[in-house]
Amino acid sequence: MEKRELLYEGKAKKVFKTDDPNLYIVQYKDDATAGNGAKRGTIRGKGVVNNLVTNHLMRMLEQKGIPTHYVKELSDTETLVKKVQIIPLEVIIRNVAAGSLAKRLGMEEGTKLSKTVLEYCYKDDALGDPMVNEYHIAALGVATPEELAQIAEYSMKINHELGEYLKSAGIELVDFKLEFGRDSEGKVILADEISPDTCRFWDVKTHAHLDKDLFRRDLGGEEEAYREVLHRLLGK
Ligand code: TMP
């Protein structure tokens, strides 16, 4: 499958058209941004880790009955995916208080949440991705109530399957962000990535960060942490 015209270049990925109108190629980059573009940098090897980890986790989720956009890994940084119409929502699932939730609700980071929390943000850079609820989503016409119910159901199932799987690798799934799209038949499927860029992964024993918070918070050691996630999940 050949890469054709560049369709889109984001902060961490490029998307190309292919000969097949229903398939795209995603290319992962080492570029990193935080705070809606306020901090910029590179994390060497990130593109490889995020590509391989995302594909590994999407294949696992497919086996558990979650439909995804994943088709085929083409190289260490490139993957063939189904074309989808992205639903402009960031779906955030939280098991442990951290990041913006800890700040907003005045909870200490690391406090286990007695109930899993599901949040939605409306993907709009100019607005700074504001948090929205089901009413806002319906009012904006971003997704139908049926699509949103499907998204919530998949997200909770993904949280369960991913949490169990990562635990076996000594990783605690603190929180993470998902994006969904509509495939050529209008069905909701999982898209985007599941990687240390989009999840908070903590070492089960030490609670050491194995994710992008090392970069966001200038803690250092992000290259090693990304490599560690790849090693724990794929043995590479
Ligand atoms: P937050 O605590 O900053 O709201 O982030 C919650 C989770 O969602 C965390 O695992 C990082 C991820 N996330 C993204 O992947 N992209 C984003 O734009 C945001 C705000 C969060």
Q: Residue 89: inside a domain, yes or no? A: yes
Q: Which of 57, 92, 172 to mutate to test the pocket of ligand 1 (most atoms within 8 A of CB)?
A: 92
In this prediction, residues 81-89 reach a mean pLDDT of 98
The model's pLDDT over 186-215, given as tens digits with 9 standing for 90+, comes to 999 999 999 999 999 999 999 999 999 999
CB of 32 closer than 6 angstroms to any ligand 1 atom: no
Instruction: Specify the DSSP element, H or E, that contains 46.
Output: helix 46-63
Q: Taking the CB of residue 227, how many other CB atoms lie within 10 A of it?
A: 18
Question: Closest Cα to residue 23, out of 60, 69, 76?
Answer: 69
Q: Taking the CB of residue 144, how many other CB atoms lie within 10 A of it?
A: 12
Q: Residue 227: inside a domain, yes or no? A: no
Phi, psi angles (nearest 5°) of residue 157: -70, -40
Whether 213 and 160 map to the same domain: the answer is yes
Q: Which residue among 82, 108, 137 closes a domain?
A: 82
pLDDT of 37: 83
Is residue 1 pLDDT above 80, yes or no? no
Please, what is the end-to-end C-alpha distance for the chain in angstroms? 26
DSSP string computed for 120-183: EEE--GGGT--EE-HHHHHHHTSS-HHHHHHHHHHHHHHHHHHHHHHHTTTEEEEEEEEEEEE-
193: CATH: 3.30.470.20
In this prediction, residues 125-153 reach a mean pLDDT of 97
Q: Which of 119, 177, 214 to mutate to test the pocket of ligand 1 (most atoms within 8 A of CB)?
A: 177
- On whether the CB atoms of residues 73 and 158 are closer than 8 A, the answer is no
CB of 212 closer than 6 angstroms to any ligand 1 atom: no
DSSP string computed for 88-126: SEEEEEEEE--HHHHHHHTPPTTPEEEEEEEEEEE--GG
pLDDT of 42: 97
Segments forming the whole domain that contains residue 38: 3-82
Atom nearest to 100 CA in ligand 1: 2
Q: Which residue among 82, 97, 131 closes a domain?
A: 82
Is residue 35 pLDDT above 90, yes or no? no
pLDDT of 70: 98
The model's pLDDT over 9-21, given as tens digits with 9 standing for 90+, comes to 999 999 999 999 9
pLDDT of 7: 97
Its pTM stands at: 0.97
For the chain, what is the mean pLDDT? Answer: 97
43: CATH: 3.30.200.20
CB of 209 closer than 6 angstroms to any ligand 1 atom: no
- Measured CA to CA, the distance from residue 192 to residue 13 in angstroms comes to 10
CB of 198 closer than 6 angstroms to any ligand 1 atom: yes
Length of the chain: 236
